[in-house]
Amino acid sequence: MLPPIGCIPIIITLYGSGNNKCVEEINDVALNFNKKLNFTTENLVKMLSGLNLVFFDLYQPLYELVTKPSNYGFFEARKGCCASGLVEVGFTCNRKSIGTCANASEYVFWDSLHPTQATNKFLIDRLIPAIISLVYN
């Protein structure tokens, strides 16, 4: 299951041709992969009765969040909280980096690659009902 890779800040910085928009050509690659994975999952479940395997769609909720952050109480999706938020990743980033935002929970991304805890919570809140229905079915 791949996320909307074309919406990750560093990917937009590198491949966005100056548009601050998701790179849909790259998202298409992820969507295609996910479609095949879903197909494979469904076939496995048909072949192996008793196998509880479910394809969780995280692509759509994350895409929705990145394209309409304010609908979900987020403020910024194009830039990560850390430093400029456009290129820095991992160890070059910490709370004291110049430019780091005051409140990461309003940001979809912590740095130009990784989601914030607020984003992880957003996704988990959407996964839990699916997991519960899987366990109690």
Ligand X SMILES: *[C@@H]1O[C@H](CO)[C@@H](O)[C@H](O)[C@H]1NC(C)=O
Would you tell me which residues interact with ligand X (CB under 6 A)? 38, 42, 55, 57, 73, 103, 105-106
Q: Which CB, 7 or 81, lies closer to ligand X?
A: 81
User: At its nearest, how many Å lie between ligand X and the CB of residue 29?
Assistant: 16
User: At its nearest, how many Å lie between ligand X and the CB of residue 26?
Assistant: 19
Q: What is the DSSP string of 49-83?
A: TT--------HHHHHHHHH-GGGGT--BSSS-SST
For 13-46, give one letter per residue: b (16+ CB within 10 A) or e.
beebeeeeebbeebbeebbeebeeeeeebeeeee
Report the residue number whose CB is nearest to ligand X. Answer: 57
Q: 109 in helix, strand or coil?
A: strand
User: At its nearest, how many Å lie between ligand X and the CB of residue 91?
Assistant: 25
User: At its nearest, how many Å lie between ligand X and the CB of residue 25?
Assistant: 20
Q: Which CB, 57 or 64, lies closer to ligand X?
A: 57
Q: Which CB, 73 or 99, lies closer to ligand X?
A: 73
User: At its nearest, how many Å lie between ligand X and the CB of residue 48?
Assistant: 17
Q: Which CB, 13 or 41, lies closer to ligand X?
A: 41
What is the Cα–Cα distance from 77 to 118, expressed in whole angstroms? Answer: 12
Q: Which CB, 42 or 125, lies closer to ligand X?
A: 42
Neighbours of 73 (CB within 10 A): 10
